[in-house]
Amino acid sequence: MGEKNGRVCVTGAGGYVASWLIKILLSQGYDVHGTVRNPGDAKNAHLMNLENAAEKLKLFKADLMDFDSIRAAVKGCDGVFHVASPVPPTSVPNPEVELVEPALKGTLNVLKACSEEKKVRRVVIVSSVAAVMMNPNWPKDQLMDETCWSDAEYCKATNNWYCFSKTVAEAEAWEYAKKNGLDVVTVCPAFVLGPMLQHATNASSLALVKLLKEGYEEAENKVRKIVDVRDVAEALKLVYEKPEAEGRYICTAHTIKTQDMVQILREIYPNYNYPKRYKEGSDLAEMSSEKLQRLGWKYRTLKETLVDSYMLKYWPKSSLAQKPSSLDGGLSDLSPLGYPHHQPDPLPACVACLCGVCLCGSVWESCNRELGFAGLFACVALGSVKSGTGYLSLLLHLDPNL
């Protein structure tokens, strides 16, 4: 480990966590093999735009269920980060097939490929606190640490199929590693938030968007364990590089109830349609990342994570110093968030496009005033200018002679 210029493979390269991991690895001089279902798909274009990607990133067409495709991607690598795993935003009709089988067989295919590639010195697997916290027999007053495992049968009985899939996949990984002498380390992140590099909204970010805009009459005031996606990526690199890293690592930074998190969001973005009242949710046992912190891991503040969850993907670097409340951009009167036209909003106009609104001339003017062509680029890249009026206003702004 220790070396910063080796070649590593990252599975599920186009995903939320994997994209940030690849960004960090490339910045540190690693050569990266990334597995994606279709290298030519537009949803993976952000990867080749990363710094150093042209020279150091190679995308492989691979399917976790296809051993040969995984073996080709792992060939020549010194280490492997297995990040890919199905995370559906909603329940699925056949969880055994759609969740459990890909998680379990995919993990074993990756490990078998690593066993065949003798250069591989360490495999880092992204598990989840879902494989830690679903244990009804754990004492409520005892801090959960890496020795705690979710009860697989309890997960099935309560229809927590994602928890089940992560639990059995990680357990099988440890069994395989023990039998085959493979150096494996697992990282168990909590609820991951923060800025997205990919274009498609992931499940955890979507949950945050819903809190801002759905206007629930009542929401469950449940306890959330939160960690920043960038801090997860740093944790993965850390446990790969540190020779003394071993076993499991819980990766969580903040514990907060939904109502308290909404209050923070309301202070940052006051105009959204937040839940009107709350019902008490079940408490979770406290959980610690002390083991990971002893290895040298640090994490961001929760407020920074929540702000950046919306800001960084759409903000030009020159504007990063501005606070959200300093903006005077507006949303279209077509906005599903319910803003009247021209009403001041703490988000830039191009962020509104994420919600599917169409731009009108005056919104474009405010977007351009605050964001310049970066705002236009974000709007066009998201394919959000859907109405003739909005599209025409953009064209006229670019070329008044049209």
The yes or no reply on domain 7-194+224-254+284-300 and CATH 3.30.413.10 is no
Q: Tens digits of per-residue pLDDT, 94-138?
A: 999 989 999 999 999 999 999 999 999 999 999 999 999 999 999
| 283, burial (CB in 10 Å: exposed 0-12, middle 13-18, buried 19+) | exposed
Q: Which two tokens stand for residue 199?
A: 């274009």
Task: Identify whether the C-beta of residue 133 lies closer than 8 Å to the C-beta of residue 144.
Answer: yes
Q: Which two tokens stand for residue 17?
A: 């966590």
Q: Is the pLDDT of residue 72 over 50?
A: yes
What is the average pLDDT score of the chain?
79
Give Cα separations from 128 to 125, 134, 171, 232 (angstroms): 10, 11, 12, 11
Instruction: Report pLDDT for 198.
Output: 84
Q: Which residue has the tokens 């991607």?
A: 73
Instruction: Report pLDDT for 191.
Output: 92
Distant-in-sequence, close-in-space partners of 156: CB < 8 Å, separation ≥ 6: 164
Q: Is the pLDDT of residue 49 over 60?
A: yes
Q: Is the pLDDT of residue 213 over 80?
A: no
- How far apart are alpha carbons 393 and 402 in whole angstroms? 10
Instruction: Report pLDDT for 335.
Output: 29
Query: Taking residues 157-165, what's their average pLDDT?
Result: 94
Report the DSSP pairing between strands 122-126 and 31-36: unpaired
Report the DSSP pairing between strands 191-193 and 277-280: unpaired
* HSE, side-chain direction, 13 A CA sphere, residue 6: 21
- How far apart are alpha carbons 73 and 356 in whole angstroms? 37
Instruction: Report pLDDT for 398.
Output: 38
Q: Is the pLDDT of residue 300 over 90?
A: yes
| 135, burial (CB in 10 Å: exposed 0-12, middle 13-18, buried 19+) | middle
Instruction: Report pLDDT for 1.
Output: 52
Name the β-bridge partners of 31.
Answer: 7
| 23, 112, 118, 166: the active-site residue | 166
Most confident range, picked from 244-253, 326-335, 386-395: 244-253
Four-residue CA torsion sign, 57, 62, 64, 70:
negative
- Return the percentage of the chain with pLDDT > 70, whole number: 74
| Residue 166: active-site member | yes
Instruction: Report pLDDT for 4.
Output: 55
Q: Which residue has the tokens 């955890």?
A: 204
Instruction: Report pLDDT for 352.
Output: 37
Q: Is the pLDDT of residue 400 over 80?
A: no
Q: How confident is the model at residue 87 (pLDDT cuts 50, 70, 90)?
A: confident
Instruction: Report pLDDT for 239.
Output: 98
Distant-in-sequence, close-in-space partners of 384: CB < 8 Å, separation ≥ 6: 353, 354, 356, 357, 358, 359
Instruction: Report pLDDT for 296.
Output: 98
pTM of the model: 0.77
Distance of CA 24 to the CA centre of its chain: 14
Instruction: Report pLDDT for 359.
Output: 33
Tell me the DSSP string of 51-105. Answer: TTHHHHEEEEE--TT-HHHHHHHHTT-SEEEE------SS--S-HIIIIIHHHHH
Instruction: Report pLDDT for 301.
Output: 96
Instruction: Report pLDDT for 90.
Output: 62
Query: Domain extents for the chain?
Result: 7-194+224-254+284-300, 317-398
Spell out where 86-212 has E strands: 122-126, 184-189, 191-193
27 vs 347, more confident? 27
Instruction: Report pLDDT for 389.
Output: 33
